[in-house]
C-alpha cells in the first residue's frame, strides 16, 4: 500500500487495473512527474489558450480544449478533423513538451503497447458540470496505435463501454495522476466522462485537466 500524500489517507487501489481486454488503468502513474507536467501545461496554454469548440451540429462543447504536437484535434461546423494549425491564431500548435511525450510513451509501454510515438495531444479542461458524451476516437488514420489518457486535478467518473454505443459502460473513478491506456481489440471502444463534481484540487484548482495522446497520422 502507498501513502497518498494528497489526501492524507492510505491508497488501497491496485497500481494497475484492467478495464477490458486491451485496456489498462495505471493508478497514480503520472504523479512522480506532476510538477513537470503542470509547468509544461501552463506554457502550452499561454501559447494556445483553451477554447470551447463547436460540434458539427452547432453545439458548444462544455469542455474547453487546446492542443500540442504536430497535429491538433479540432471541431467546428465543417466536421471533426486534425489540423496542423490552431484555427484561432493560424499558427502551428505548440510543440509537444518532452515531459508529455515521455510519459505517454512510458504509459503505453507499461500497458503492453511498445513503440508508441504520439504526434497529437488533445488537452481538455473540465470545470464543475462539464461532461463528455460517449464517443469513439476514430479521426486517426491508423487504429493500430493506442490511446493514452492522463488525468490531473479533480477526480472524475470515466465511462468505458464497448464497440457499440448501446453497449453497457463500466464506471471508473479517475484521480489525479491516473493514466488510462487502451488499444488493440478495444481501440474503438465508446468512452466518456460523467458531469464533473465540484471541488478544489491542491495543485490544479477547481478543475480537471485531461491529456489525451494519439498517433493521428
Q: What ranges do the domains of the chain cover?
A: 2-214
Residue 17 has pLDDT above 90, yes or no: yes
Tell me which residue of 114, 137, 110 sits closest to 17, measured CA to CA.
Answer: 110
Tell me which residue of 100, 102, 110 sits closest to 180, measured CA to CA.
Answer: 110
Which cell is 78 given?
A: 465543417
Per the listing, cell 479517475 goes with 174
DSSP string, 4-66: ETTTTEEE-S-SEEEEETTEEEETTTTGGGHHHHHHHHHHHHHHS--B-PBPTTSPBPSSEEE
Mean pLDDT for all residues in the chain: 94
d(CA 197, CA 213): 24
The 3-state DSSP class for residue 72 equals: strand
Tell me the average pLDDT across 67-75: 98
Residue 1 has pLDDT above 60, yes or no: no
Convert the pLDDT of each residue in 149-195 to its tens digit. 999 999 999 999 999 999 999 999 999 999 999 999 999 999 999 99
Superfamily of domain 2-214: Alpha-ketoglutarate-dependent dioxygenase AlkB-like (2.60.120.590)
Are 75 and 53 within 8 A, CB to CB?
A: yes
Tell me the average pLDDT across 65-72: 98
Q: What is the layout of strands, in order, in the sheet containing 191-193?
A: 132-135, 191-193, 156-160, 170-174
Amino acid at each position: 500500500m502507498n501513502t497518498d500524500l494528497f489526501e492524507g489517507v492510505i491508497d488501497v487501489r491496485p497500481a494497475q487495473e484492467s478495464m477490458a481486454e486491451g485496456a489498462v488503468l495505471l493508478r497514480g502513474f503520472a504523479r512522480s512527474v506532476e510538477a513537470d507536467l503542470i509547468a509544461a501545461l501552463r506554457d502550452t496554454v499561454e501559447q494556445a489558450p483553451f477554447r470551447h469548440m463547436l460540434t458539427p451540429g452547432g453545439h458548444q462543447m462544455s469542455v474547453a480544449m487546446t492542443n500540442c504536437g504536430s497535429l491538433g484535434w479540432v471541431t467546428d461546423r465543417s466536421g471533426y478533423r486534425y489540423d496542423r494549425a490552431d484555427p484561432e491564431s493560424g499558427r502551428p500548435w505548440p510543440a509537444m513538451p518532452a515531459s508529455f511525450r515521455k510519459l505517454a510513451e512510458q504509459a503505453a509501454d507499461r500497458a503492453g503497447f511498445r513503440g508508441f510515438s504520439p504526434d497529437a495531444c488533445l488537452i481538455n479542461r473540465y470545470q464543475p458540470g462539464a461532461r463528455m458524451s460517449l464517443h469513439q476516437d476514430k479521426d486517426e488514420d491508423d487504429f493500430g496505435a493506442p490511446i493514452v489518457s492522463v488525468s490531473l486535478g479533480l477526480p472524475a467518473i470515466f465511462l468505458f463501454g464497448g464497440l457499440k454505443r448501446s453497449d453497457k459502460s463500466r464506471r471508473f473513478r479517475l484521480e489525479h495522476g491516473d493514466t488510462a491506456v487502451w488499444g488493440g481489440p478495444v481501440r474503438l471502444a465508446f468512452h466518456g466522462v460523467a458531469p464533473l463534481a465540484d471541488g478544489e484540487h491542491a495543485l490544479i484548482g477547481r478543475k480537471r485537466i485531461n491529456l489525451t495522446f494519439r498517433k493521428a497520422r
